Chain A
Amino acid sequence: MMASSYNAKEEDGHHSGSASHGGAAVVKSKKPDNTAFKQQRLPAWQPILTAGTVLPAFFVIGLIFIPIGIGLYVTSNNIKEFEIDYTGVDMNSACYSCAKNFSWNSTTSCLCTVDFTLEQPFESNVFMYYGLSNFYQNHRRYVKSRDDSQLNGDMSALTNPSKECEPYRMSEGLPIAPCGAIANSLFNDTLKLYYLEANGTRNEIPLVKKGIAWWTDKHVKFRNPGGNANLTAVFQGNLTATSKPVNWRNPVYELDQDPENNGFINEDFIVWMRTAALPTFRKLYRIIQKKSSTMPTLPSGKYVLDITYNYPVLSFDGRKRMILSTISWMGGKNPFLGIAYITVGSICFFLGVVLLIIHHKYDTRSTGADIPN
């Protein structure tokens, strides 16, 4: 209530009183420091935006963006890509019956075969992807349904997975390894590719399944508990008994024969666990390596895709695709980026022209008006 002003005021009065006595000691001057910072005179560069500096920026950016866009577009167009939808929605498609009859609970696999033709040969290494649509791998409750500690080989997390994994945390009284919805919904179709020679023989194309995951994922983020040897003992040990995810056919230690690609460090598993950004996505499945410099990796011709149809997507209107693609320095086929660059570059250029016209008109008009003055 009593404002502080009163005190200070009195203080002031007191001060002046004592000063008038002449009894004051040498008072330090309150003169402010004459420093560049305090006087706000720091040396500075003051660019002045004029039409002469701003307008060229539009043209320069336009001139940079349009070539980049064209380059990207051409690069993207040079990438060969082949995509085939094998979901089996259509009555005529090969996998129709599999799609209709299959559910997670089926114990036997359903097999179907899709034929396709490559019009052009694929020259360099070919990447084989599977693509899913309308699959919300980026849904928050899905994304967080995993236990990174468990996947990193933490023993305690193995037996006691994170709460985030619910409802895929425990099964039949045992902790699930790997726990969570992501792992549970692991993509488990098996794709095999055959080259159909002219005489009708099917030539299986070797698909490399290693090197499809990120290095850091394979070697740092994902680790088997207790090392890669003897996984069975770890996942089924007395103290560390675990259960397989409910939708899986096989437990995690039987994902592959190769101990370097088994358990949590199975690359298919790792790729799946790296969740996609958008509901339509593709994931790297296999790599088809170029064998010789003279032969294209995939010559043009007829191919057969053998599918072990395990993964039901029709229930949520999803689609499954197999994609074959070569890659360039910018990755897979991506016409959007090139087009976007060209568009933005053109807009810049256009804006530059418009501004130039305005500038020209405005300037002449106003100088014209100024002259009488």
Chain B
Amino acid sequence: MQPNNDLSLHRIMNTESLDSGLTWEVKANSSFYHKHKQKKSFLCFHWGRYADNVVRSYKYSPLTFLPLTLFEQFQRAANLYFLLIMVMQCVPIISAVPWYVTVIPLLSVLIIRGLKDLANDLARRRSDREINTRPCDVLVSQSFQTIQWKDVRVGDVLRINKDQVIPADLLLLSSSEPYSLCYVETADIDGETNLKYRQALSATHTELTSQPSEEVLSAFDGVVFCEEPNNRLYTFRGQLQWRGEGFSLDNEHILLRGTVLRNTDWAYGLTVYTGSDTKILRNCGKVRVKTTRMEKVFNRLVVGIVLCVLSAALLLAIASSVFSTWVMSHTQFQSVLVVDDNPIYTGFLVYWSYIILLSPAMPIALYITFDMIHTIHSLFIDCDMEMYWQQTDRPAQARNTSLNEDLGQVGYLLSDKTGTLTQNHLLFRQCCIAGEIFGDASVRAEDVELMDLGWNPYSCGNLFMSAPMLVQRLREDQCPISRQFFTALALCHTVMAQWTEDIPVYQAASPDEEALVCAARELGLVFLSRTRDFIVVSELGIKRQYELLAVLDFTSKRRRMSVLVREPEGGVKLFCKGADIVILERLEEDCPHLDKTERALELFAEACLRTLCVAVRSVPEALWGQWRKTLTKAATMATCDRDALLETLYDQMETDLLILGVTAIEDRLQEGVPETIALLQEAGLKVWVLTGDKKETAINIGYSCKLLDPEARLLEWQELREILQSSDPQISFLKGRQTDVWAVGKESAGVKTSLVLTGPELAEFDQRPEWEPTFMKLADQCQSVICSRVTPAQKAQIVRLVRKHTSSVTMCIGDGANDVNMIKTAHVGVGLAGVEGGQAVQNADFALSQFRFLQQLLLVHGRWSYRRISLFLRYFLFKTCGFALVHIWFGCFNGFSAQSLYERWFIAFYTVFYTATPILCVAIFEQDVNAESSLKQPELYKCGQTQELSSPLMLLSSLLYAVYSSLILFFIPCGVFYNTAFDQQTMAVTVSMAATFIATIEVILLTRYWTKINVAAVCTSVVLFFICSRITQSAFLFQRSPIDYSFMGVSEKAFREPVVWLTAFLTAWTAFLPSLTAHALRVVLSAPNKHKVHSVSSHSVELQSKFRRRTSSHRSSHQQRM
């Protein structure tokens, strides 16, 4: 082609494409053209439009690390606060304690955090590099060369081999398969595991598959005009301009980055979007930083403490001014007490001094320790053998290490269904042919005695059904109807067959279909292959080829699918399978076995099996001919008209059916799901199921996993809407319940109601936001809520609704990409590392392998974490405030001069050495009851949901207790030392000793789980106090620096004074008395409660056993398609 022509053509097309919004231009095989635009982006805005194919998820470069990390860290208010305190401490005139008291902890916080960020960033860089350096084949001057992903450019032609990950968004040009079909696995994008096919344009297919392909491909000079990069995964709009013709492109022609090529030896593609322009990268939202509820409350409390400190400092500063004025008017010789003879200025300085002096009330060590505890708790989760899944060699994983205590407070569990509750692994368990039931679903699948299917060369042995009678009938050809039943299963589907080692492996769009076709294969009716026009089936060894006349698609509205085939003998037959209701109403009159079949349906439904009815119809040749004509006419019509016409057309064909039988498929629940749900419900969690599936399927699963009580009333939208619309929803809700025959009393009726909603119904909330609070109130009273047919966005919306209208912690669990949104939205997101891609896990805060591990995660780890962290925070608050607030009281006796009561070293060491380890041990090892008992007594979990240990009231009481202990800490020694010859330093040592004692006794009372480490920690802390006091007050250090170690010799003398010891003991005990009394009171009052708990739990066990005898006639089952 001549360059001139090319240019003019271009211009024309450009104007055209601009009109239609197709402004993204990609020229095939002109890497130079695109490279130009890419690299010179700084010269011209237009030239910078093509991103390179490099993933950059790291944040720091060597130059920017320090400023960025410091900037990020000082965005935390606490760090900034401590920085200010530190700066203030460097000002000698106000420095009440030396600067190193704060600088060392602050520096260590900054360094630890910084290193953590750095390590994360390096890991990101590593994973980036790993991705960026993956190999792929690019066409360069008529041959394929292996280059790295990062060097792929827009306009490159790539060769993708089987099982390769696609490096960029490509336009499929051709592939090794007929019609240039190719199969991709999109598990990492949408979580769907079935293969999807993509097809090249017939133009490129025919032109580019001729050999030698390299030459042909390098001569390809098409230009793609398409949309600007966007995040819509399922749409693509574009046009290929090639050889003067325009071909319109859609999603079918596009291979997305991140998908994997399967079942196709090779495929050629033209790079359209690279790097950050690709659809998947456009889909990566920002990661929201999650903080726990307790942390929020605590942060508020910290702000409160800081405000209190500021106002206390202000009061003391005012008092100081008054005192200074008094001093000024009374004496000359103590005038040293007033700075510059100016009481106001003195007060001003004292204000800052007191802020410094009282700042240990909110210690920086808290934040380091808090982080550390979280990390250790996460480690425990990672290491738990109980949550290790042998089959995939996967332990549980705490990906977010700062949400542990929220695990102990979860109020709402919102779960995905497929793959989360179920294994997403369907088994053909039973069938009913001509009214006769084969197989027994009451036997567990593993225990089924496998039939000897050795006669069948295609058998893989994964049929968990025992029906020798059926096999015999089939083999001996005694029963044509059963043979026809399985032939129908082998024909009526959209499954693809793939051959490995002489055995067909099926690739199905829905797991149901796969299960049915597999079952037919096991019983000798083997689906061998499919072409556009033929289906080949081996019927008990005899190969037969059916001509495929038409496929009547499945839609969720039709709830059935059919195939129209011509038998090798010549007759036209319609095989149809679908939901029972739809099929039963289309049967011919006086269909035999109808009663028995209906009973079988009921039986299957009770056993929680998914049922499908299979029917057949012999189509007269005349009818077929006529029908075909209408069909071809319809194919040429406009879309919306065509859909309506097709529907009626299909309806005409699917009548006068003859029922063959019913299949019953078990969507196997994951191991332990019903038990887990029952346990979690006992623990007070509200379990909601959000699924994209149909309502019926969702309800079925709800029953089988014990989420729905068989006796429960299902409250559906119509009714709910009426309730919501009524003037008093509460009353109409109750009234509605009382009409229920099953409802016995008001309270039990509440438990026995379940809400069942669908996505479109939920969408109504968008218009009626005023319903939301009422809805949540009602939902709260229901046993469970099931939302079906919800989109990923709606899932997140539901989570947001719950978060908005309750104060509970929400947890979402899911396994697929469609759950990512809700996992990110919830307080705590759990990803199941299941069959589907890893996206849920990657976005989750915790990753598990099995649903039932939730028990361990919530009831054991969560509960422990919550308890440990609550105890830790409250204790920390108590010990630091109690110790720092003493200065307020001391201020009243030293002229409000911000004189420290303690030795400076004691202030520096108190939180770090003398009191840190025992509470750290509590925060790591504490167990009020062990893991087994935690699981046996789920009601213990409720303590977290009601925030029993961490409510603002509890925190406030800790604070009050701290104030009380600071009062005792000062006034008892004050009483003892008033008007005596004891000096201030002796009093300082006494109060320090008492403070250490109080902190130690309190932690001793808190600890209920005394490991050796706890004992050692408590002992060393106390011993450390004495040793450190002696060291910092030794003559040796004093001579090195008299100013820093001015307490020389004090402890040596004080520790020999009986009065000092007696005072310290008395002070410690008096300060401890309220805490002990509160404990004793709780023990005295709660002892009988424990009996009650036990009686309740034994009661609930009975309930549980009743639970199992479930009867229901509500359920129906339908074909399921994702």
Binding site for B on A (CB under 8 A): 1-14, 17, 20-21, 27, 29-34, 38-40, 42-51, 54-55, 57-58, 61, 65, 68, 72, 104, 129, 131, 136-143, 145, 148-149, 151-152, 154, 162-163, 167-168, 181, 184-185, 214-217, 220-221, 247, 274-284, 312, 315-317, 329-332, 334, 336-337, 340-341, 344, 347-348, 351, 355, 358-359, 362-363, 366-367, 370, 373
Chain B residues within 8 Å of A163, by CB: 92
In the complex, A334→B327 CA distance in Å? 31
User: Residue on B with the closest CB to A370?
Assistant: B1091
The docked-state distance in angstroms from the alpha carbon of A316 to that of B843 is 71
Q: Which residue of A lies closest to B129 (CB)?
A: A7
Some 7 contacts from A to B, beta carbons below 8 A apart, are A2-B55, A7-B127, A11-B127, A17-B164, A216-B1053, A277-B987, A340-B976
**Given known contacts A43-B1011, A216-B1049, is B127 in contact with A8 (CB within 8 Å)?**
yes
Tell me the nearest residue of chain B to A357, going by C-beta: B1084
- Asked whether, in the complex, the Cβ of B839 is within 8 Å of the Cβ of A9, the reply is yes
Knowing A6-B280, A278-B893, the reply to whether A51 touches B1087 (Cβ < 8 A) is yes
Q: Please measure, in the bound complex, the distance between the C-alpha atom of A226 and the C-alpha atom of B900, giving whole angstroms.
A: 34
Which residues on A sit within 8 Å (CB–CB) of B1062?
68, 72, 330, 337, 341
**Contact A31:B395 (CB < 8 A) given known A13-B187, A44-B1010, A274-B985:** yes
Do residues A4 and B1095 form an inter-chain contact, with CB atoms below 8 A? Answer: no
- Assembled-state Cα–Cα distance A277/B285 (Å): 62
Residues of B within 8 A of A181 (CB): 334, 336
Query: Please, which residues of chain B bring their CB within 8 A of the CB of A145?
Result: 336
CB distance from B901 to the nearest CB of A (A): 9
Cβ 8 A contact of A13, one of B96, B127, B260, B1069: B260
Residue among A38, A44, A55, A68 with most chain B CB within 10 A: A44
Closest to A325 in B: B981
Closest residue of chain B to A3 (Cβ to Cβ) is B284
Q: Does B45 contact A (CB under 8 A)?
A: no
Q: Beta-carbon contacts of B118-132 to A below 8 Å, as 1s and 0s?
A: 000000100110110
Q: How far is the CA of A370 from the CA of B1095 in the complex (A)?
A: 10
* Chain B residues, Cβ within 8 Å of A72: 1062
Residue B494 CB within 8 A of the other chain: no
Question: Beta-carbon contacts of B1027-1067 to A below 8 Å, as 1s and 0s?
Answer: 00000000100110011001011001100011100110010
Give the CA-CA distance A45 to B900 in the complex, in Å. 40
- Find the B residue at minimum CB distance from A131: B979
Expressed in whole angstroms, the Cα–Cα distance for A237 and B912 within the complex equals 48
Q: A29 contacts which chain B residues (CB < 8 A)?
A: 393
B329 CB to closest chain A CB (Å) equals 10
- Do B842 and A12 touch across chains, with their CB atoms under 8 A apart? yes
**Contacting pair B336 A279 (CB below 8 A):** no
Given A32-B382, A141-B336, A221-B1049; A148-B165 close (CB under 8 Å): no
Chain B residues contacting A14 (CB-CB under 8 Å) are: 134, 165
Point out the residue from B188, B334, B898, B1011 that lies within 8 Å of A42, measured CB to CB.
B1011
Binds A, one of B9-17, B243-251, B1074-1082: B1074-1082
A7→B1076 CA distance, assembly (Å): 54
Give 9 A-B pairs besides A48-B1008, A277-B977, A332-B981 with Cβ atoms closer than 8 angstroms.
A2-B57, A8-B127, A32-B383, A42-B925, A104-B332, A139-B894, A139-B895, A216-B1035, A316-B334
Contact across chains for A275 and B983 when beta carbons are under 8 A apart: yes
The reply to whether B1081 and A355 form a contact with Cβ atoms under 8 Å apart is yes
Residues of A within 8 Å of B900, CB to CB, are 140
Cβ 8 A contact of A220, one of B977, B1046, B1049:
B1049
Shortest distance between the CB of A15 and any CB in chain B (Å): 9
Residues A330 and B287 in contact, CB atoms below 8 Å apart: no
Establish whether residues A282 and B925, one from each chain, have CB atoms under 8 Å apart when the complex forms.
no
Docked Cα-Cα span, A158 to B1081, in Å, equals 62
The 7 closest A-B pairs by CB, nearest first: A216-B1049, A366-B1088, A148-B1042, A12-B838, A140-B899, A140-B897, A38-B383
Query: B residues within 8 Å of A by Cβ?
Result: 55-57, 92, 96, 124, 127-128, 130-131, 134, 163-165, 187-188, 258, 260, 276, 280-281, 284-287, 327, 330-334, 336-339, 353, 379-380, 382-385, 388, 390, 393-395, 837-839, 841-843, 864, 893-895, 897-900, 925, 927, 931, 972, 974-988, 1008-1014, 1035, 1038-1039, 1042-1043, 1046, 1048-1049, 1052-1053, 1057-1059, 1062-1063, 1066, 1069-1070, 1073, 1076-1077, 1079-1081, 1083-1085, 1087-1088, 1091, 1095
Residues from chain A with a CB closer than 8 A to the CB of B1066 are: 65, 337, 340-341, 344
| Chain B: minimal CB distance from A366 (Å) | 3
**Residues of B with C-beta under 8 A to A104:** 332-333
A68-B1087 Cα distance, complex, nearest whole Å: 34
B894 and A138 contact, CB distance less than 8 A: yes
- CB proximity of A313 to chain B, nearest CB, Å: 9
Nearest CB in chain B to that of A247: its residue: B333
Task: Kindly identify which residue among A4, A39, A355 contacts B124, using a CB–CB cutoff of 8 Å.
Answer: A4
Q: Nearest Cβ in chain A — how far from B1085, in angstroms?
A: 6
Please state if B1046 and A11 are interface contacts (CB–CB under 8 Å). no
Complex Cα distance, B1011 from A47, in Å, reads 11
CB contacts (< 8 Å) of B1042 on chain A: these are 148-149, 151-152, 154, 221
Q: Which residues of B contact A54 (CB under 8 A)?
A: 1076, 1079-1080, 1083-1084
Asked if A142 contacts B124 (CB within 8 A), the reply is no
User: Shortest distance in angstroms between A3's beta carbon and chain B's nearest beta carbon?
Assistant: 4
Q: Give the docked Cα–Cα distance between A280 and B134 (Å).
A: 81
Bound complex: CA A156 to CA B139 (Å): 83
Chain A residues with Cβ under 8 A from B353's Cβ? 140
- Of the candidates B188, B380, B899, B1091, the one whose C-beta lies within 8 Å of that of A9 is B188
A31–B837 Cα gap in the complex (Å)?
Answer: 22
Q: Smallest CB–CB gap between A328 and chain B, Å?
A: 10
Provide the residues of chain A in CB contact with B393, threshold 8 Å: 27, 29-31
- Asked if residues B1049 and A7 are in contact (CB atoms below 8 Å), the reply is no
CB nearest to B130 among chain A residues: A11
What is the bound-complex CA distance between A351 and B383, given in angstroms? 46
| Also in contact, A32 and B56, with CB within 8 A (given A141-B337, A334-B980, A348-B1073) | no
Whole-angstrom CA separation of A21 from B893 in the bound complex: 80
Min CB–CB distance A284 → chain B (angstroms): 5
Chain B nearest Cβ from A288, distance in angstroms: 15
Bound-state CA distance A5–B1062 (Å) is: 61
CA distance A215 to B1073 in the complex (A): 38
Neighbouring A residues of B382 by C-beta, 8 Å: 32
If the complex has contacts A51-B1083, A220-B1048, are A316 and B984 also in contact, measured as CB distance less than 8 A?
no
CB pair B1010 A282 closer than 8 Å: no
* A20–B1013 alpha-carbon span in the complex (Å): 46
Which residue of chain B has the shortest Cβ distance to A285 in the bound complex? B981
Cα of A29 to Cα of B389 in the assembled complex, Å: 11
Chain B contacts for A167, CB-based, 8 A: 336
Judging by beta carbons under 8 Å apart, are B837 and A50 in contact? no
One of B380, B898, B1038 near A221 (C-beta < 8 A):
B1038
Contact, CB under 8 Å: A139 / B1010: no
User: Which residues on B sit within 8 Å (CB–CB) of A44?
Assistant: 925, 927, 1009-1011, 1014
Contacting pair B982 A277 (CB below 8 A): yes
Select A217's contact among B380, B1049, B1085, beta carbons within 8 Å: B1049
Q: Which residues of A contact B931 (CB under 8 A)?
A: 40
Q: In the complex, are the beta carbons of B1083 and A49 less than 8 A apart?
A: yes
Q: A2-B57, A3-B285, A29-B393 are in contact. Are A17 and B260 (CB under 8 A)?
A: yes
B1080 touches A58 (CB 8 A): yes
Question: Measured between alpha carbons, how far is A340 from B353 in the docked complex, in Å?
Answer: 33
Contact A11 B131 (CB under 8 A): yes
Please state if B974 and A316 are interface contacts (CB–CB under 8 Å).
no
Given contacts A2-B57, A277-B977, contact A40 B927 (CB under 8 A): yes
Q: For residue B1077, which residues in chain A have a CB less than 8 angstroms away from its CB? A: 351, 355
Partner of A282, one of B839, B980, B1053: B980
Given the known interface contacts A9-B837, A277-B984, the answer about A4 and B127 at a Cβ–Cβ threshold of 8 Å is yes
> In the complex the two chains form, what is the Cα distance from A71 to B358 in whole Å?
38
Q: How far is the CA of A88 from the CA of B1088 in the complex (A)?
A: 68
Partner pick for B1063 among A11, A21, A27, A337, CB 8 A cutoff:
A337
